[in-house]
């Protein structure tokens, strides 16, 4: 009886290892004759990376906070830094909120929401058209000249 248990235990163990390898994404290292990797090892299903631009990030933040402010009616009670906004982004938010409130009063909530998206996009595109505070016109273009003491 003991000899029958060992093959079964080995079979169960090898099955468990195979399942673990599949669940953890392990590859058997098999390479196709053409030199191409197997589909499991290729990046066919991998999404391409996307780097969020400063304009996109600004637009997302301003749109989010403008909708929060308008939906809650009285504001979040957070200051602009607690919202993750810079001073410039906060200025865009305040301009966007004023325009959206006027549009909502005149034409309803849906019209106000459209203004939020348009105003945030326009304001952020303008703010970052020449770069960010560490690039473009804000970057230091000339190193300070050291002074000589004689």
Model confidence pLDDT, tens digit, residues 122-137: 999 999 888 766 555 4
Spatial separation of the C-alpha atoms in residues 92 and 123, rounded to whole Å: 6
Residue 20: its pLDDT value, please?
A: 53
E strand or H helix that includes residue 100: helix 87-107
pTM comes to: 0.57
Spatial separation of the C-alpha atoms in residues 103 and 100, rounded to whole Å: 5
Closest CA to 85 of 73, 97, 94, 72: 94
> Rg (Cα) of the chain, in Å, rounded?
29
Query: Percentage of residues in the chain with pLDDT exceeding 90?
Result: 34
- 53, 60 contact by CB (below 8 A): no
Residue 78: its pLDDT value, please?
A: 84
SS (H, E, C) 57-91: HHHHHHHHHHHHHHHHCCCCCCCCCCCCCCHHHHH
Residue 4: its pLDDT value, please?
A: 53
1 HSE (CA, 13 A, CB side): 0
- 126, 120 contact by CB (below 8 A): no
**pLDDT of 93 over the 50 cut:** yes
- 138, 128 contact by CB (below 8 A): no
Over residues 47-60, the pLDDT tens digits come to 778 888 889 999 99
């Amino acid at each position: 009886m003991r000899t029958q248990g060992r093959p079964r235990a080995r079979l169960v163990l090898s099955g468990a290892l195979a399942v673990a390898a599949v669940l953890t994404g392990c590859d058997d290292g098999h390479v196709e004759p053409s030199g191409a990797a197997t589909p499991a090892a290729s990046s066919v299903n991998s999404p391409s990376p996307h780097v969020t631009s400063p304009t996109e990030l600004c637009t997302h933040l301003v749109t989010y906070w403008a909708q929060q402010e308008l939906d809650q009616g009285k504001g979040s009670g957070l200051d602009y830094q607690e919202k993750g906004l810079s001073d410039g982004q906060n200025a865009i938010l305040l301009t966007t909120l004023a325009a959206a409130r006027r549009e909502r009063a005149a034409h309803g909530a849906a019209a106000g929401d459209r203004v939020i998206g348009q105003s945030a996009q326009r304001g952020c595109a303008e703010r970052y058209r020449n770069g960010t505070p560490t690039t473009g016109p804000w970057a230091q273009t000339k190193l300070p000249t050291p002074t000589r003491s004689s």
